Structure 1
Amino acid sequence: MTINNQLQTPPATPVKTYPLFNHLQYKSDIPTKPPTAPVPVLSKQLQPSPFIIPNANETDKLTEFERITVEYQNRLNVLHIAELEMENLRLKELVQQREFELKKVNDVIEEVIVSLEKTL
């Protein structure tokens, strides 16, 4: 009976089934406290292509394999751009969170300074 209950409860975080996206973090994974470890670096799986994409005149001369290779590399480049944009948004959210936390700390410091000036 316990096994059935365990199978019916959904996982706490979404199941990541695509290996290309295992390194991406969901919005819920963004820490609410300052990180103790350095911010993770982007995955090395997808990198911009050094492959030169031929122009329209040269496309007719490509073999079927070369056409498929170009299309595949274009898709990898699009995925890499999407990955960079997601990382950029995540970092922007972290920056906004840190700025908010710093503003709160700054406000507390100003209150302490004002109260100390009043006591002197």
Structure 2
Amino acid sequence: MSPQEWIVLGVLAGAIILFITEKLSIDLVALLIVAVLVLTGVISPQDGVAGFSNSATLTVAFMFVLSAALLRTGALATLGPRLGARFRRDRTTGLLIMMLVVAACSAFLNNTPIVAVLLPIVV
């Protein structure tokens, strides 16, 4: 095997260990993988940052920003506690209500922003 293949296997093994042990956050491990592969010359810097210019990646990133903004401004302040209380009382009913809210929103909006907005409520 070539030295580059050994580097990739080592990075893969290290990433799996870090993912399992959770010593570092998942996003930091993902960035470290790209950084190590670029610094060792396995991939070019252009290839290393190419994924960040993908429109899908940017859309998801901006949806998380939108979600955080909705939480901080209190726009979800009424919906969050109500759904949370419903989930604590009866998970089945809470899940049914959440499914109906998501289905109603999904009929008119793209699914990605719906997930990004409702994810903090569910988690």
- Same fold by TM-score greater than 0.5: no
Higher relative contact order (CA 8 A, sep 6+): 1
Larger Rg belongs to:
1
Question: Scaled by the length of structure 1, what TM-score is found?
Answer: 0.26
Give 1 or 2: higher helix fraction. 2
